[in-house]
């Protein structure tokens, strides 16, 4: 079963235009595009700038900033991008591999960056919120706003990642990771009631109340909440709010001119103040400030 939703959904990080020698995103192949938003990679040699990892409040392990990592001095704003990341870190200096799972987050935070001495490469897959469960033998109810050592929840994975030591290019590593993920894709975990509801949620741009989302699949709210918790990690209402915020953020940063009142009506906000406050709640700053910060990396 290949998931196909009526409305394309393209969540963004706080710096969607960033692409340089230390951080770059790669589009997945056709087979993985319904599930993987992108692959990304970063790398640094000893003595250059590296990242001081910071954890989401309540995180089980450091490294929550993976999806926003840029090997430059300063701070990075990490926003709720409605995605989950698997990050593989290859330490060439110590000849070791570690990996972690970054769960969905519903808040923004800042990550401090500093210097490190080891030569490290990071390869990661960024999954849409609806798809990570299809690759992981793990219920996601306890992963929200947390970073987990992937080896602890998927024993043996670091050994499986060892071929990454021998690849000579990022493209080769990503090609290998694509094959690895396709082998792990378990469509038996697909739940039609859950994905019908996600399709409805995406088609409405997140402007949908919980009862309507559940009614679309003829499933009780209690049962649907359980499906969202187990397979996504956050409740229905929170996911809808995050999808709506991401749609607004996409318009803010992609359009030459953001027409706020059009967005108010399109996404069901009560008024302009409601949209602005909701955006700041998730992004941490006002839309125009966020836009200027993003464009600085174009």
Q: Is the pTM of the predicted complex or chain greater than 0.85?
A: yes
Angle at 41 between CA 116 and CA 140, to 5 degrees: 100
Q: Give pLDDT tens digits for 63-102.
A: 333 343 333 446 889 999 999 999 999 998 899 999 999 9
Q: Give pLDDT tens digits for 105-124.
A: 999 998 875 456 788 889 99
At residue 209, the pLDDT reads: 94
At residue 111, the pLDDT reads: 80
Instruction: Give backbone dihedrals phi and psi of 111, rounded to 5 degrees, phi first.
Output: -120, 125
At residue 69, the pLDDT reads: 34
Ranges of the chain whose pLDDT falls below 50: 44-73, 114
In terms of DSSP H, where are the helices of the chain?
150-153, 157-160, 170-184, 192-203, 210-216, 221-231, 236-254, 260-266, 272-283, 287-295
Residue 36 contacts residue 177 (beta carbons within 8 Å): no
Q: DSSP assignment, residue 49? A: E
Instruction: Give backbone dihedrals phi and psi of 2, rounded to 5 degrees, phi first.
Output: -105, 125
At residue 43, the pLDDT reads: 74
CA dihedral (9, 24, 95, 114) positive or negative: negative
Decide: residue 237, CB within 10 A, 0-12 exposed, 13-18 middle, 19+ buried: middle
Identify which of 113, 112, 154 has the alpha carbon closest to the alpha carbon of residue 133: 154
Beta bridge partners of 24: 41
């Amino acid at each position: 079963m290949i998931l196909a939703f009526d409305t394309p959904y393209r969540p963004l990080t706080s710096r969607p235009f960033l692409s340089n020698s230390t951080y770059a995103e790669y589009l997945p192949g056709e087979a993985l595009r319904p599930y993987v938003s992108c692959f990304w990679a970063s790398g640094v040699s000893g003595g250059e700038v590296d990242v001081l990892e910071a954890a989401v409040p309540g995180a089980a392990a450091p490294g929550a900033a993976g999806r926003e990592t840029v090997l430059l001095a300063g701070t990075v704003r990490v926003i709720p991008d409605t995605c989950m990341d698997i990050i593989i870190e290859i330490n060439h200096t110590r000849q070791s591999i570690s990996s972690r799972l970054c769960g969905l987050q519903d808040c923004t935070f800042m990550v401090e960056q500093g210097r490190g001495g080891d030569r490290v490469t990071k390869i990661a897959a960024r999954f849409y919120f609806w798809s990570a469960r299809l690759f992981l033998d793990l219920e996601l109810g306890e992963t929200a706003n947390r970073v987990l050592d992937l080896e602890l929840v998927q024993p043996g994975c670091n050994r499986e990642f060892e071929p990454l030591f021998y690849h000579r290019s990022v493209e080769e590593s990503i090609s290998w990771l694509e094959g690895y993920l396709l082998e792990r894709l378990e469509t038996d975990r697909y739940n039609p009631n859950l994905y019908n509801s996600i399709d409805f949620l995406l088609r409405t741009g997140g402007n949908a109340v919980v009862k309507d989302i559940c009614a679309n699949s003829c499933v009780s709210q209690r049962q649907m909440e359980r499906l969202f918790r187990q397979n996504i990690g956050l409740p229905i209402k929170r996911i809808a709010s995050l999808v709506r915020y991401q749609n607004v953020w996409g318009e803010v940063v992609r359009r030459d001119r953001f027409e706020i009142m059009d967005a108010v009506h399109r996404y069901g906000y009560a008024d302009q103040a409601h949209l602005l406050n909701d955006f700041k709640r998730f992004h941490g700053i006002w839309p125009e400030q966020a836009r200027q910060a993003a464009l600085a990396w174009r």
